[in-house]
Structures are given as C-alpha cells and as structure tokens.
Homo-oligomer: A and B are copies of this chain.
C-alpha cells in the first residue's frame, strides 16, 4: 500500500491486511495496541492478542519529520530503509542479539518485529542499579561480529563498496555531526545545561584548543572513515536486556563509519553510568562500591572480549581475500603484527569517540537520565565535571592509553570507587 501514517486506531487493520501477520496472530479483532511514545524519531506500537499475550509484535513506523519536534523538523522516511537494512545485516551475524523481523515495507516505512516483552531498556535498568552478568559477553559479540563481517577484513572489495553505497545516510549522520561533534563544543543556541555549571565549566570545553582540535579530528574520522557498518547510536538506551538475554535495537543511524564509534558509544555511556552511580547508589542507601565495580568490570570486559573475538574472526579469515600476502615462514607472525596494530588504532578511536559521546551529554541538546535526573543540581554539576574531565582526557590522550585497564584506573582517580 502507498504510504500513510498509522494510528492506534488503524494499526490492527493494517496488520490484518498483511499475509505475514497471519501466522503470528490467530485473530485480529481483539488486538491491544499501545503507542509507546518514547521515540525521538519514530512511532512505535506494541500490539498483542488480548486472549493470548504471547501473540505479540512491535511495529515501528517512520514519519516524514522528527517525531519529538513535530512536522516543522522535516526528516525523510529514508531512515526506515536504513534501519531495516541494518537490522537484517546485524541479525545475519548475531541472530540471538537482534530482534526477529516478521515484516518490513520501505514504502510504508514500517518494520514489524519481535516484541521484547521480557526485556527492558538497559539505561533505566542501570539507573536502578541492576546487574547484567552477560552484558559484556553479548555486547562484545555484537560488536566483534557486526564490525568484522561488515568490513574489508571479511567482505571482498566490490561487496564492501556496494554495501557502503547502499548505506550512505546523510540526514542522520548530519544529526550526529551536529549534536555529537559540533554544537556541544561551541556557544550554540541548541545547547542546554545545568544552571550550576559556570562559564569556566563551559570554557573548559569551548575554549580549549587541544580539546577542540581533538573533537574535530573525531568528527572528521566519523565523516570520512567508512570502515564497517555501524549501529550508529549504540548508547545504553538502544539495548534491551534481562539477566539472560540482550537485544540491540534502533539502528536508524547506521552507516559505514569508523569501528570505534559504536564501541565508544557504549563505553562512554557506561562511564557516565559509573560517575552517576556514585549518586544513585548513595541515594538508595547502598554502598556504591559493588555496583560501580560491576560497571567498570563491564567496560573492561567489553573491550577485552571485543578485541579477542575480533582478532579470532580475523585470524580465521586472514587469508580469504589475499591468500598469498602473508604466505611465507614468518607470515603468521607478521599477520599478528598487523592485527595488533589495527586493534590499537580501533582502541584509540574508541576512546576518542567515547569522549565525544560523554561530553555531548553534558552541554548538548540530548541529555541522559543517569545525570539529568539528579535533582540536587550541585551534586549533578560535580558529576558532570567528572564526565567532562574524563572526556577531555580521553579525547586528547586517546592514543597514549595502552589498555582499557589504564583508562578505568584514570576514571577511578576522578571518582574513587568508594
């Protein structure tokens, strides 16, 4: 059907009209339709059979504007094509970590997928202080598989270029370029921030030459280095979890970009969680030590497991594209040298991007509840300053850290574990 914007009233009939929904729902006349209402960009509906709640799907539809602002902020529906494409490519290499897609339509800008009824958004879970023992294992697998299998280390040269061409996503990349890499670092009218922050706090970022150049370098890498198909917005609000399972959702910001951008998004957000849990744990009367130890352990383990999983995949496929290049007695050793050097480059990028993702949450338009929900504004400012400090250190010294453990130690000097 040609494009029309669905509503709570029309969703059930739309589902009924789709052959692909008939194996999912046994009846369409008593569907409960809930509009989730928390998306910035799109509409999301959760639909279930009132008689049998196991018969349920999530439907996401893009509208030709930015949902959170309204029709005044035009945004093409192209983003749904990118999201569908990314979900399919990610699920192909991470079947247990990406929701199942039942149906998609580029024309209707719709995707209908598995409703994750037993999972919650990770950010809220972390703010509440819940532990997810398998998170690092799952996220490192997602990162290693999606980044490796969609890069030149696996794809052949022509496939990769075709995939890059299909994934050029100018509108959503521009949002990131502006709101992650530019506006928060200048006196931009879209910025908002805690009134307890001073002019000195602002200029700590806005007028520091080394920091400005470092952020501009990360932006340039974001705009130029088409290394792998990224999720593009991998903060802890794009992850749904329970104790056993992890699902990565909402990849509409996907494009071919630098690998470190996805890894850094996750790690940067977890550092924000680390800093802010100093507040939240005390507020709940807990000793922050245990939970914050889990967060730092998750950061360390996510990077270290990513590194070893990516290295193992690469080693397995090392000779697929260039069988002769390292085919000599010392070749295996030299190939390892190459992998180590490459992963060191990804590590530096990861820290630089983590930094940008952290800093922008303090001054930029889009806040995170971990920090923005702290009611005591002086306490909030104290935690925001730690975030800015670690951000600046990681952005400007990103290539000097030799391990994730060193980075974690640096964070601890800003906010001791206890």
A contact set with B: CB distance below 8 Å:
152, 157-158, 160-162, 164-165, 168, 170-171, 173-174, 177, 182, 185-188, 206-207, 209-210, 212-213, 216-217, 220, 223-227, 322, 324-331, 333-334, 337-338, 341-342
Contacts and interface: CB of A to CB of B under 8 A. Distances in A.
Contact of A173 (B157, B174, B212, B223): B157
A327 B186 contact: yes
Contact of A224 (B174, B186, B217, B227): B227
Contacts of A187: 324, 327-328
A144 B210 CA distance: 26
Given A186-B322, A213-B341, 7 more contacts: A161-B173, A165-B165, A165-B168, A188-B324, A207-B330, A209-B337, A217-B338
Contacts of A152: 220, 223-224
A63 B405 CA distance: 57
Contacts of A337: 209-210, 213
Contacts of A177: 157
A413 to B, nearest CB: 27
Contacts of A217: 338, 341
24 contacts: A152-B223, A157-B223, A158-B171, A161-B168, A162-B168, A164-B168, A165-B165, A165-B168, A186-B325, A187-B327, A187-B328, A188-B324, A206-B328, A207-B328, A207-B331, A209-B333, A209-B334, A212-B326, A213-B334, A216-B338, A217-B338, A220-B342, A224-B227, A226-B226
A393 B170 CA distance: 39
Contact of A322 (B182, B223, B329, B331): B182
A157 B170 contact: yes
Contacts of A224: 152, 225-227
A226 B329 CA distance: 35
